[in-house]
Every structure is written in C-alpha cells, then in structure tokens.
Amino acid sequence: MNSAVVIDAVRSPMGRARPAGALAGVHPVELLAQVVSALVERTAVDPGEVDDLLVGCVTQSSEQSGNIGRMAWLAAGLPEQVPSVTIERKCGSGQQALQFAAQGVMAGSYDIVIAAGVESMSRVPIGSNRQGADIYGPSVNERYAPGLLPQGVAAELIAHRWNLDRKQLDEFAARSHQLAARADSANAFVREIVPIRVPATDETVYRDETIRPGTTLDSIAALTPSFRTEEYAERFPELRWHVTPANSSQLTDGASAVLIASERAARRMGWRPRARLRSFYACGDDPLMMLTAPIAATREILARTSLAIDQIDHFEVNEAFASVPLAWQSDLEVDIDRLNPRGGAIALGHPLGATGCRLLTTMLHAMEDADQRRGLQTVCEAGGMANALILERD
C-alpha cells in the first residue's frame, strides 16, 4: 500500500465573522483561491499534475453553493482539467477531505492531491442553508422525541456529565487565548499563514484577528449563558448553564489547504515529505450528546494502530466548546500540556469546513518546532460524529 505524505500545509489568517471582520470583504471563492495559489507556489508543484482538489465546506448555499473548490481552482487561474469536489461532514468536513485525499493516495487513485477547507461565516451565515425547514424529518424526530438539541445544549450536557463547572470552562477558554497570544507574539504562526488580500480595500491581512491576548478568568466571568431557555431548563433541570460565547468557539472566516502525495510522487518531484498520514477513522456516537464522539474516535484509532496514548506527543481536539476537549482530556487522562498547545478554536476561531485542515496545519508546524514525532487530531461533528487522524514524522 502507498503511503500518503504531507508536502506542505498552509492557512489564511482567521477573521472574525462580522460585517467589519478582517476577511469579510473577501468572497469565499477568492479566499480559498488565494490559499490554494499560495500552496501551489510554495511547493512548486505543477498544478496540472494535481489529480483532485477535495474541499470541506459546511454551509453550501449562496456564495458557497457552486462547488466552491472548482470555482476557487478556476479563480486562481489554474489548469481547467483538474477536478474538484466539495465535502460536507459538518465541522469535520475539512478533516474528511484530508481522509479521502490520503485514502485516494493509499489506494493508488491519486499521486498528488490537495485537501482543503473554507468557510466565510460573515458572508454565508451558519444555518442559512436550512431555509427554515425541518432538517431531521419525521422518523428522526420520532426516534429522539422530544427532539434533538442545539450544539450548545449538548455542550451543557457534557459539562454536567463530566462535572465541569463554569470556572473550569472559563479557565480553559482563557488558556486558549493566552496560548494563542503567546504563539502569535513569538511569530510561531508565521510559517503556516499565507497573507490574504482584501480586494474591496486593497489591504492585506497577515495575522489572526480572533486572538484576545487580554482574556482572563475575571474578564469573562460575568458573561450570561447562551443556550438556556425555559423549554430546555424544564427538560433538563439538572443543568446549571455554564456555556457562554467566551468558552465557545468563535464564528470565523478562514481557509486552509494541504498538499498530499504518494512517496513515489514525492521522490519524482524532489520533495522532502514533512510527515505522513499514518491512520484515520470516523465514527458515530449519541446524537443527543452530539459532541462526545472524539473520545470514541480517539480510543479506536489508537487501538487500530496499536499505539498507547503516551506515544502521542501532540493532541489537537477542536474547541467547539470548552466542555468538549475538557471531557476528552478527563476521559483519556491526557496531560493538558499536550492538548492544543498553541490554543484552539476558542482563540483561533472555527471556520467550520476549514477547521480540519487548519488543525493539521497548526499541529504540523508545532510538531516540527518541538521536534515531536506523533500528533493526533479529532473533531466533533453535528449529529454525533467525529473524525480522528494520526500524523507521524520520521
């Protein structure tokens, strides 16, 4: 079986999803096009030799509805014969693009492939593709009566099950910003970020807009919980309602892209692989709790690779809500210093379809800087699913 190796991984800066956000003036097609163009330029790959472009994108409506990977490739002026497909596995869409890309290489279908992700949450708001419709259907509604839950309520259920109080969630949120700010101040993100030009203003964005260096426990302690309603309070009287905007991931604009190749293609191109995708796995879990599947995904991928948890140097667990990585860390008894050491989605943002590739990009660069061998990343997903992968350096 062919090995799937990572040649390079890049991302845009992260912009806040608001009308005045740093990247709000960039059409999502153009945002992805700039990131893919930078990846092609950095690697000196002949773009005509790329077999496919696999792109994660969650809200496939409006400006993101036209097979955004194909439009981005054409917008970048790249060869017309290269196809693209857009993938949607909720918050794991970008990670699923990585998995499909690596599987294609390992199966011999691809020699050179790009996995990417993009989301402009300022221009295409989360949930806008629902158009007010029932997305579950009568059978799911009946099976899970009185109904499935918003993710924020699921995060509250996780906090309750794992005995996580408001202080613990806020401390983790402050940690995320502090670690990201420390990395930013040390220019640790410079190698992974490609500048993005905003056509409307002709300005260029170089750094993440989402990091709040001054975040402390005290500064966020007074925020009101976001997901308590009378209906949910009556349904779940045990909940104490701890989830706020500060201990949740940020709505964000961003894109990321990873060049993956077979070892044969890497030798032919004269590339020195930076890591290999050793293993990957996706699973489902309780759709009511919704965000617990990273625990099961992590246990299974370790079992499949015969690796112990202590053999992993670096963990990226998407910070959809602080309760998710904290429950994961508690259940798996992982040293917190190995968890999201440069901050996570609470500080860096969560541009849905782009997050999986962003996690790998940050993890790869951090592992290189620390001379670490193995990293594991996992993303919780709506509907009670998760993806996990193991990245390994020689």
Instruction: Clarify whether 242 is annotated catalytic.
Output: no
Give how far Cα 90 sits from Cα of 275, 380, 385, Å.
26, 9, 9
Cβ atoms of 120 and 385 within 8 Å: the answer is no
One-letter identity of residue 206: Y
How far is Cα 301 from Cα 389, in angstroms, rounded to an integer? 7
- C-alpha–C-alpha distance, residues 159 and 327, integer Å: 7
Which of 57, 350, 357, 365 is catalytic? The answer is 350
DSSP state, 309? G
Measured CA to CA, the distance from residue 329 to residue 64 in angstroms comes to: 35
Among 27, 57, 91, 283, the one annotated catalytic: 91
Task: In whole angstroms, give the CA distance from residue 247 to residue 319.
Answer: 9
Helix (H), strand (E) at residue 264:
helix 263-269
Q: CA-to-CA distance for 227 and 156, rounded, in angstroms?
A: 8
57 catalytic residue (yes or no): no
Task: Please indicate whether residue 91 is annotated as part of the active site.
Answer: yes
Structure tokens at 146: 């009185």
CB atoms within 10 A of CB 376: 28
- The one catalytic residue among 57, 283, 357, 380: 380
Q: List active site positions.
A: 91, 350, 380
